[in-house]
Structure 1
Amino acid sequence: MAFLSFLDHERSVARPGFSRWLVPPAALAVHLSIGQVYSFSVFKIPLTHLIGITKSAPGDWTQPEVGWIFSFAIGVLGLSAAFFGPWLEREGPRRAMAYASVLFALGFFIASFGVHLHQLWLVYFGYGIIGGMGLGLGYSAPVATLIRWFPDRPGLATGMAIMGFGGGAMIGSPLAVKLMAFFHTPTDVGVEKTFLVMGTFYLCFMAFGAALVRVPRPGWKPEGWQPKPAASGMVTTHGVAVGPAFRTPQFWLLWIVLCMNTTAGIGILEQASPMIQDLFGITAIAAGGFVGVLSLFNMAGRFFWSTVSDFIGRKATFMILLGLAIIGYSILPYTSAAHMNSIGLFVLTAGIMLSIYGAGFSTAPAYLKDLFGTYNIGAIYGRLLTAWSVAGILGPVLVNYMRESQIKHGVDHAGAYQLVLHIMVGLLIVGFLANLLVRAVPQKYWIKSEAPAAAAGGH
């Protein structure tokens, strides 16, 4: 079929004269779409009112039950990115991004059918499993491609792509709120039709990114650029294959860093709208605005910190990020109405914490590139994203179930978050110590011949 042959790796290799600056828009088209997952919290309360419409009624789903939709999506994201990593290296980003668009949209469509039938397992399967597979393919393909187009500025490159993922909620949150309001009736909260419209919209937008993307020719490098190791000795010009990389202490230390940072951030992100309503009693519409503000911080942090890392190094950047996060999560529970009663300080602190969360994702690929080279960067990054899978379950489960447990034991809704946020501080300390132990990858792990490493630029 002509369409499927258009997706072949050979058809996506850039011709001489192609500008690498056309690739970031392709990456953004995909990441701005799949980044919608970060606005999922705006659906949590409506999904618990499908029967009661204005409030939960017998037979309605609970918030912890609904929270698993997001956890499944993030969990499958990391697992699919790891599983399909070698396939992505072989088939190239265009096919991966095209398949991602279909799977992500299909996830919305199946979830819509699940809402219509009031079958939660169908929503889990659609948005969580099928949509999660689309997330995994759509997330890793643009990142690996941009790293190869911008070897001179890997932090900037990953920041450009992953900034879009962090900013996806800035589009997804108001779009979902307005669509649910448009489709709302006295007998329907509007979620079912909202899922259908959003799935169609994202299918078209992501397909545009897949058509636009290109990969560099074998041996290509930016004009006048010569690779050179950083003064710290942490940056390699050699390649490491995915198998040996997976067995290094460096990979697993970075896995711990990403998992701890992500667990803390994603716990807030998944519960953002209900949390600020619990802490300060604001309306659902205002809470939706808060989710949008978090998206701005998430997006800005991804670009700012990854760019900074090009100048001060990845390890130093993570030391700063994790140190700031430890302070921020220590402060956050005391900003509530029961303590300082400062919604402004809460929003600012939460925003900074989400900028740190996003920065972890945009800096980690460049960190991998520094340690392992670009030879199998897509496959290695895919395996690293299993840290996101674990965090995507651990963070929301900690927040949702500890909140429920605290409330059952007589703690008010505002105070129910204090214990879990202190636990997040402990996890961040573990991540800080893991980053402190990262060293350069020993020569014994390098690939034997450097010829394949040079050719890898075209994959």
Structure 2
Amino acid sequence: MSAVIGNDVGAGNGWLDKERTIAGAGYNRWLVPPAALAIHLCIGMAYGFSVFWLPLSKALGAGAAACGKDVSLLTELFAADCNWRISSLSLMYTLFFVVLGVAAALWGGWLEHVGPRKAGVVAAFCWCGGLLISALGVSTHQLWMMWLGSGVIGGIGLGLGYISPVSTLIKWFPDRRGMATGMAIMGFGGGAMIGSPLAVELMKAFGGSVAATFVCMAVIYFIFMMGGAMSYRIPATGWKPAGWTPPAAQNSNAMITQRHVHVKKVWGIPQFWLIWMALCMNVTAGIGVIGMASPMLQEVFGGTLIGLTGDAAKFGNLDKDSLAKLAVMGAGFAALLSLFNICGRFFWASISDKLSRKLTYAVFFILGGLLYASIPSSADSGAKLAFVGAICIIVSMYGGGFATVPAYLADIFGTQMVGAIHGRLLTAWSTAGILGPVLITYMREYQQSLGLPKNEAYNQSMYIFVGVLAIGLVCNLLVRPLNPKWFMNDAELAEEKRLAHDRAIANDVGTGSGGSASAASSSTLVAVLAWLAVGIPLAWGVYRTLLSVVKFFG
């Protein structure tokens, strides 16, 4: 992989070269979103890895001892004679999103030069290869191989796969930037809806073998990701949708620029850091709640969720059977949140095309702050519907923040290197992935150490998140159009276009369907089939999720 990433970006004639992906006249741009979805629905399984923790914690059998408290994490990484702790396995989440941000930041510029196809192929090899290494780690009971395979190598695949379609979609949909990125990035939110039940079914089929499940999923994901990567096409330089005219800058304060910033300059631009902070604060608050939503619901409302009243309903007084029923309720709630996460990505990103990105982010912070502040009172009064509704909307805005920010960056920094700039911005996600869970879990434990009952242990965290969102709101309000000094001049832009192999016309196999009626009809049919290829698995995932949601409301 390092050899591939380290290659110079000189012109070539290979099937992965960017020149081979330039679409010709008449190409149907609606073929690009399903290609992006094919990749995002696969790597989005990172959200669903929790289905493996319990089986992996018993990989040596119920008779084997668990690694005790006297076994350090470093020792556990290489221990083959004790069952792994769930807390050690769940650190994979941190690895996923830290490595994702770092990889996206490091190789975002490379992606802009070589195009989305090569980046998508490398992502497929990393993500699926990481699963195969993890399978070997499970077979040999070596936790370090799990971390290296899925956490590090797979995390690199996450980073490259996540940002691979961003620049391409924004260039194909200059008239609907938010909607376009929302379509792709909703796939990352929906990946667990498909992957989690698929993993459960595969583990049943393979007699509980996680290693065999990893191998099977690696094969399935590789086919889909390679199909998506090979389907990527980029528009020729200067292409625009028929009948669409770029909005003219009415004054020097226009929030949508027609110029372009080089990625190497963004670390020094104040607006980059303001948007970085806005995303980080939105994700910190959202990811903190997502990680604890299920236990929070169960501990706050206890037995009232299953019809108990009085002292018998308090969480600490519940028997094993009642706790099992609550666990089903918690799983249904988590499934409901996953639906709001994926739908919020498309809804809010599309809305941002009408409201503007800045105003949409202001809604996230103001409405989100009000909802977080309402949660303690909803919990105290037993208002379950208000409590659940607030968290569902919060989670939709968490997903919406991810889907809206690429278009926000394109508005402020231009489209030439928006994928690379987005890659660097994702370090905010890596940071938030640590801050959010730490804040809510630390405050929960601290409140309980003071003697507060479980149903009140989350109140302080909610008020802290209100403050976190207030910081994000201030940062968002401070975003202004860039000083012209940050934009590339004509010579710099021409050089960047040369390095990126921009072409004004299609060249070789990148040609589109042409302009005839029969070709247009063929293109429409291919687009329908492409959407079915990603839509059917997604519909299956939604169906399985709705089954869990029904249990929650039942």
Task: State if a TM-score over 0.5 links the two structures.
Answer: yes
What is the CA–CA distance in structure 2 between the aligned matches of 1:454 and 1:137, rounded to whole Å? 21
Paired residue for 1:352, among 383, 393, 396? Answer: 393
1:312 equivalent among 343, 346, 355: 355
Looking at structure 2, the residues matched to 47 and 283 of structure 1 have their Cα atoms a distance apart, in angstroms, of 23
- Kindly, what percent of the aligned residue pairs are identical? 49
In 1: Cα distance, 2:64 partner to 2:440 partner: 22
Contact map agreement 2:256 2:411 (CA 8 A) in 1: yes
Correspondence list, 1:415-434, <5 A: 415-434=456-475
Q: What amino acid does structure 2 have at the position aligned with 1:197?
A: C
Aligned-pair CA distance for 1:399: 3.5
Give distance in 2, aligned partners of 1:343 and 1:55: 41
Could you tell me how far 1:429 is from its partner in structure 2?
1.2
Could you say if the C-alpha distance between residues 5 and 272 of structure 1 is closer, same or farther in structure 2, counting changes exceeding 3 Å? farther
Unaligned runs of 5+ in 2: 5-12, 69-82, 303-322, 504-554
| 2:457 is aligned with 1:448 | no
**1:213 match:** 232
Whole-Å Cα distance in 2 between the matches of residues 199 and 272 of structure 1? 30
Distance 1:157 1:414 in 2: 41
Say whether the 8 Å CA contact 1:104–1:131 is kept in structure 2. yes
Write the letter of the residue equivalent to 1:440: P
Paired residues, number: 451
1:92: Cα distance to partner? 0.5
Match of 2:125 in 1: 102
Match of 2:214 among 165, 187, 195: 195
Return the alpha-carbon distance in structure 2 between the equivalents of residues 333 and 46 of structure 1. 35
Contact 1:294/1:351 (8 A) holds in 2: yes
Q: Does 1:328 align with 2:371?
A: yes
The alpha carbon displacement at 1:271 in A equals: 4.1
Deviation at 1:54, TM superposition (A): 11
- Cα distance between partner residues in 1 of 2:254 and 2:369: 28
Q: Comparing 390-399 with 257-266, which one deviates more in the overlay? A: 390-399
Conserved? CA contact 2:259–2:488, under 8 Å = yes
Does residue 5 of the first structure (1) align with residue 14 of the second (2)? yes
Cα distance change of structure 1 residues 18 and 78 upon mapping to structure 2, 3 Å threshold: same
AA at the equivalent of 1:160: M
Cα shift readout 1:322-344 (whole Å, capped 9, x = no counterpart): 112112222335555xx344554
Q: Return the alpha-carbon distance in structure 2 between the equivalents of residues 403 and 217 of structure 1.
A: 53
Amino acid at match of 2:103: S
Is 1:143 the counterpart of 2:186? The answer is no
Corresponding position of 2:45: 36
Of the three residues 268, 272, 281, the one matched with 1:247 is 268
Q: Is the 8 A contact 1:297 1:352 kept in 2?
A: yes
Query: What pairs up with 1:52-451 in 2 under 5 angstroms?
Result: 53=62, 57-59=66-68, 60-183=83-206, 190-229=209-248, 233-279=254-300, 280=302, 281=323, 282-333=325-376, 335-336=378-379, 339-404=380-445, 406=447, 413-449=454-490
CA distance 1:161–1:249, change in 2 (3 Å):
same
TM-score, with structure 1 as normaliser: 0.89
- Please give the TM-score of this superposition, normalised by the length of structure 2: 0.75
State the Cα distance separating 1:142 from its structure 2 match.
0.9
Task: Give per-residue Cα distances to partners, 1:108-137, cap 9 Å, x unaligned.
Answer: 222233333443332222221111101100
Q: What is the rounded CA distance, in whole Å, between the counterparts of 1:212 and 1:75 in structure 2?
A: 28
CA distance in 2, matches of 1:56, 1:274: 26
User: 1:362 Cα deviation (Å)?
Assistant: 1.0
Decide whether aligned partners of structure 1 residues 66 and 271 sit closer, same or farther in structure 2, where only a CA change above 3 A counts. farther
State the shift of 1:182 in Å.
4.3
Extract unaligned runs of 5+ from structure 1. Answer: none
Answer yes or no: is the 8 Å Cα contact 2:96–2:151 preserved in 1. yes
Q: Deviation per CA, 1:161-214, whole angstroms, max 9, x where unpaired?
A: 111112222212322333344445xxx5x4333333322221211111011111
Q: What amino acid sits opposite 1:386 in the alignment?
A: T
TM-fit CA distance, 1:262: 0.9
How big is the shift at 1:32?
1.2
Q: Residues of 2 paired with 1:119 and 1:274: CA distance?
A: 30
Counterpart AA for 1:253: L
Give per-residue Cα distances to partners, 1:66-104, cap 9 Å, x unaligned. Answer: 332101101111110010011101110001111111111
**Aligned equivalents of 2:372, 2:64: Cα separation in 1:** 32
* CA separation of 1:271 and 1:115: change in aligned 2, threshold 3 A: farther
Label 1:305 to 1:385 Cα distance change in 2 as closer, same or farther (>3 A).
same
Deviations, residues 375-414 of structure 1 (Å, cap 9, x unaligned)? 2111111111111111122223334454455556655555
Whole-angstrom CA distance in 1 between matches of 2:63 and 2:426: 38
Question: What do residues 122-155 of structure 1 show as CA deviations (whole Å, max 9, x unaligned)?
Answer: 2222221111101100000111110111111111
CA distance in 2, matches of 1:417, 1:181: 36
The CA deviation string for residues 279-324 of structure 1, in whole angstroms up to 9 with x for no partner, is 5444545444333322211111111111111111111110011112
Q: Structure 1, residues 207-235: CA drift from partner, whole Å, max 9, x if none? A: 11011111111222222222114677211
Aligned residues: CA RMSD: 2.9
Which stretch shows the higher mean deviation, 343-352 or 321-330? 343-352
Residue 515 of structure 2: aligned partner: none
C-alpha distance in structure 1 between counterparts of 2:61 and 2:378, whole Å: 33
**Cα distance, 1:58–1:454 mapped onto 2, change above 3 Å:** closer
Greater CA drift, 322-331 or 16-25: 322-331
- For the residue of structure 1 that corresponds to 2:240, the secondary structure is coil
